Amino acid sequence: MKEFDALKGKDVLILGLAKSGYESAKLCQKLGANVIVNDGKDLTSDPHASELMSQGIKVISGEHPLYLLDNNPLIVKNPGIPYSIQLLVEAENRNLDIITEVELSYYISEAPIIGITGTNGKTTVTSLIGDMFGNSKVNGQVSGNIGVVASKVAQEVNKEDYLITELSSFQLLGTIKYRPHIAIVTNIYSAHLDYHGSLEEYQKAKKNIFQNQTEEDYLIFNFEQRHLIDKEQIKSKILYFSTEQEVDGIYIKDDYVVYNNIRIIHVNDIVLPGKHNLENVLVAVLASIISGVEIKSIVHTLTTFSGIKHRLQFVGNNRGNKYFNDSKATNTLATRFALSSFNSPIIWLCGGLDRGNDFDDLIPYMDNVRLMVTFGETKDKLKTLGLTQGKEVLQVTDVKDAVDTIQDYIQPNDVVLLSPACASWDQYDTFEARGNEFIESFQKHLPTF
């Protein structure tokens, strides 16, 4: 961990406990700060709050009293807390610094940082990069919005490592000096306007990822959205990614991933389906190459990576058929995304909680569906949908029954896709439980020889 003396003897207010607040409080105390934790919820019975108090950290909960600002503390804010609460409004009136814990991770990290943000794709990109590093001789530790708090991981990495951090707009809004060596913006669309107030403010938060970069750093940006940074004063080297044309960076040409005129891999050999994932792949490959990851390690990841669990996750092959678990697709928008990701014939497993909606918006995406297998409360609605589109439809009881039943109907090169388009609560406690049953059922049908 890099030496950082700026917090010694300084008052620090941790606003919001949760994972980031808990780790931030411990770190700030380690750095010599006088730490107070404040949460609007009652933390009387919270084990983490009790642990912090046993270490001499004061915890005030159930309200946000304004006297907490009397000593002009540095405020480390939980990303989800809006700036509109009275305590933060008053803090801004007093020109107090308000940061999120990722700023702390930058202060103490000996390792160069790969920062990944974007409206869509950032979790997949972060996971891909982490897997590529994991297969190589270069050490990289994944952190941030994807799981382990960045400021915790930053204490463990050294100069030879990389700190790979997924970043939300909420986290980036609370940065002042944060400077990743490689900044990645997958895309910027309209999102979280209830929090940021406008699209412009949301975009500004995302752009914080490259504001402090220097000529020694890299910015990887979506070529199709280059207009978003045309007027920005960017010092770092900009590299683009594109699935449509040759760019200064990485792109698809003649169905190959190409960087610096070198063919990395044919797109048909990449296990993650869909154009959106092809963009994610380009970003991850480029960032990994810049970081010194070997091409063979990158290719190994692209031919084996199963994806984020329950999000169009590649489960495996059985007798020439690929199985994908998209149990997190609890609405038609997510399922439209999944259905449009395949050119092969699809056996589509769908159904679940009936919320009263119809499924007509799926019709334009059903061209490759060869067989529908419906279950749950919506099985009759989905059967009607399939029959009106001339599809063969089977009705079953649940996901296990669906996987068992299709074994008598499956044909060579079929893709088996669980993408329910419905919530799981009619039959399963969570979408994870539904997806896990799909995986377990798939595994039971694998050959035993």
Write down the H helix ranges in 252-390.
Answer: 275-290, 295-304, 332-339, 379-388
Length of the chain: 449
CA–CA dist 90, 69 (Å, integer):
8
Neighbours of 432 (CB within 10 A): 14
CA–CA dist 387, 331 (Å, integer):
20
Decide if 127 contacts 165 (C-beta within 8 A). no
Q: Taking the mean position of all CA atoms in its chain, how far away is CA 80?
A: 16
**What is the CA angle 433-439-440, rounded to 5?**
85
Decide if 109 contacts 160 (C-beta within 8 A). no
Torsion, Cα of 109, 115, 117, 122 (10° steps): -100
For tokens 């199963």, the residue is 306
Which three-class secondary structure state does DSSP give residue 129?
helix
CA–CA dist 160, 422 (Å, integer):
46
CA–CA dist 359, 54 (Å, integer):
54
Q: Binding site: which residues?
A: 118-124
CA–CA dist 164, 144 (Å, integer):
8
For tokens 């159904």, the residue is 351
Q: For residue 47, count CB atoms less than 10 angstroms from its CB and return exposed for 0-12, middle for 13-18, buried for 19 or more.
A: exposed
**What is the C-alpha radius of gyration for the chain, rounded to an integer number of angstroms?**
24
Which three-class secondary structure state does DSSP give residue 381?
helix
Q: Binding site for ATP: which residues?
A: 118-124
